[in-house]
């Protein structure tokens, strides 16, 4: 399997070049021809291999990549990045702040004529874990393609996966840090939004959550794009030796303190077409289904299940799952007592029977009021993992109120742990005793 660029997916070989800048040692920067030997990708200063923050580590740029810096002006102006920026939506002006402004400014000062977008080294290693790391037995993360109909909840799902608030429920706080990286690369033909505007829209949710504010305007559907990537970087809290059980298997089996999930979001308009547009293989294909929009709960249903059926069949991935969203919007009076009980357990983070979510979804898909596409979907789930993940409070704009996501930890655990079993059970058992 050849290595590839995480933004444009172009295969990399000896004809391709990468540029490397370590933000802690810019004087050791280098442009090099790609080689699986890996040594040129790292900063020569050994301590930079595992930085305390993604923001202070190594960034790479694929020279000639069609995924451009959103602040590339062209000509003599080059790249001009502001300290922060503003975005106008529905008559409102939002001030957008994010750590990426500072990093992109710093990189632009180093090389103002670099038109291509920079990305963290760890993101490159996650996309290319097989050609780069398998020889050492290291698998440091997973790539995930999100597919589903319009308004299925893909954007909210990917956004909440990148912030601590996505993991605060029901536990008061995660025992791991979460950092993020966001990039949107427009198609370039018939653009409704300019690259800078699309980039700001993608950053807006993170800016608002950082400022402890919530407004429905941050939820915007994914436009057709060449690349829409939201990367979550996890690092276990070294101060807290009681690591969360769901991340423990992964952490003890890797020498890398950073672990990542790279979400490649796709537009509902593209997913609702019969043909599969996105053919680049990923580790995990996650098909998103709006639970409240099934025939069991409403008469007029969107192309929800039909799209899920098609994408489960065509998505290019080594593992597949189905994520049911909008569970909080289901009329509770339409649920059986046993179903309300199961959703209550999922909300509380309590253990449930294996495949309980899949069996409940199948019951819904086989209801007398279910559409034919929903019954077809029920038959496709035999070997597909099903997760219920939903976000409450998206429309609650009261001061101090922020969205809360339920069910994420189980999904993240499956994504990170699913490729291998623990190598050192004794270490794990000791930690559980502490």
Q: Does the residue 256 lie in any domain?
A: yes
pLDDT interval class at 430 (50, 70, 90): very low
Q: Average pLDDT of 17-30?
A: 93
CB 387 within 8 A of CB 414: yes
What is the distance between the alpha carbons of residues 364 and 91, in angstroms, rounded to a whole number? 40
- For 274-332, the pLDDT digits (tens) are 888 888 899 999 999 999 999 999 877 777 899 999 999 999 998 999 999 999 999 99
Average pLDDT, the chain: 83
pLDDT of residue 175: 62
Q: Does the residue 368 lie in any domain?
A: yes
Q: Does the residue 36 lie in any domain?
A: no
- For 151-210, the pLDDT digits (tens) are 898 989 999 999 887 876 655 555 677 899 999 876 554 455 578 888 998 899 899 888
Residue range(s) defining the domain that contains residue 244:
139-187+224-433
Beta-carbon count within 10 A of 295 CB: 21
Count of structural domains within the chain: 1
Say yes or no to pLDDT of 396 above 60: yes
CB 19 within 8 A of CB 30: yes
pLDDT of residue 223: 62
- Going by the DSSP 8-state scheme, the letter that residue 295 receives in this structure is T
Which CATH number characterizes residue 314's domain? 3.40.50
Percentage of the chain surpassing pLDDT 70? Answer: 82
pLDDT of residue 55: 92
Q: Does the residue 211 lie in any domain?
A: no
Stronger pLDDT, 37 or 148, i.e. the higher one: 148
- Going by the DSSP 8-state scheme, the letter that residue 67 receives in this structure is S
CB 146 within 8 A of CB 265: yes
CB 71 within 8 A of CB 197: no
What is the distance between the alpha carbons of residues 5 and 10, in angstroms, rounded to a whole number? 5
Q: Does the residue 53 lie in any domain?
A: no
Instruction: Out of 142-151, 153-162, 218-227, 330-339, pick the least confident.
Output: 218-227
Q: Does the residue 157 lie in any domain?
A: yes
Q: Average pLDDT of 120-134?
A: 85
Q: Does the residue 128 lie in any domain?
A: no
Residue 138: partners with Cβ closer than 8 Å, 6 or more residues away: 129, 254, 255, 256
pLDDT interval class at 229 (50, 70, 90): very high
Q: Average pLDDT of 70-81?
A: 88
Q: Is 132 helix (H, G, I), strand (E, B) or coil?
A: helix
């Amino acid at each position: 399997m050849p290595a590839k660029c995480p933004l444009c997916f172009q295969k990399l070989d000896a004809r391709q070049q990468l540029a490397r800048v370590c933000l802690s040692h810019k004087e050791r920067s280098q442009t090099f021809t790609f080689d699986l030997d890996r040594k040129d990708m790292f900063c020569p200063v050994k301590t930079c291999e595992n930085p305390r923050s993604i923001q202070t580590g190594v960034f790479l740029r694929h020279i000639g990549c069609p995924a451009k810096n959103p602040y590339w002006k062209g000509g003599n102006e080059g790249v001009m990045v502001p300290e922060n920026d503003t975005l106008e939506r529905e008559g409102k002006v939002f001030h957008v702040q994010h750590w990426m402004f500072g990093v992109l400014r710093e990189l632009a000062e180093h090389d103002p004529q670099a038109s291509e977008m920079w990305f963290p080294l760890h993101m490159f290693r996650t996309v290319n874990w097989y050609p780069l790391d398998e020889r050492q037995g290291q698998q440091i993360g997973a790539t995930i393609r999100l597919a589903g109909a319009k308004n299925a909840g893909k954007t909210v799902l990917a956004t909440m996966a990148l912030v601590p608030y996505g993991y605060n429920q029901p536990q008061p706080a995660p025992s791991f840090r979460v950092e993020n990286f966001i990039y949107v690369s427009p198609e370039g033909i018939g653009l409704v939004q300019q690259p800078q505007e699309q980039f700001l829209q993608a950053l807006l949710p993170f800016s608002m959550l950082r400022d402890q504010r919530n407004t429905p305007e941050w939820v915007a559907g994914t436009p057709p794009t060449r690349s829409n990537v939201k990367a979550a970087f996890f690092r276990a809290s070294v101060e807290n030796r009681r690591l969360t059980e769901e991340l423990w298997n992964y952490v003890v089996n890797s020498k890398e303190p950073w672990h990542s999930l790279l979400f490649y979001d796709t537009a509902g308009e593209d997913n609702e077409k019969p043909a599969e547009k996105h053919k680049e293989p990923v580790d995990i294909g996650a098909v998103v289904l709006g639970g409240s929009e099934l025939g069991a709960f409403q008469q007029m249903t969107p192309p929800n299940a039909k799209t899920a059926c098609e994408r489960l069949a065509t998505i290019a991935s080594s593992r597949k799952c189905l994520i049911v969203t909008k569970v909080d919007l289901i009329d509770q009076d339409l649920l059986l007592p046993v179903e309300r009980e199961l959703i209550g357990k999922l909300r509380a983070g309590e253990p449930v029977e294996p495949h309980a979510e899949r069996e409940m979804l199948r019951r819904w898909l086989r209801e007398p009021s279910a559409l034919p596409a929903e019954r077809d979907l029920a038959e496709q789930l035999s070997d597909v993992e099903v997760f219920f993940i939903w976000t409450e409070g998206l429309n609650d704009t009261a001061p101090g109120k922020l969205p809360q996501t339920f069910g994420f930890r189980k999904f993240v655990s499956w994504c990170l742990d699913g490729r291998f079993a623990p190598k050192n059970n004794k270490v794990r058992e000791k930690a559980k005793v502490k």
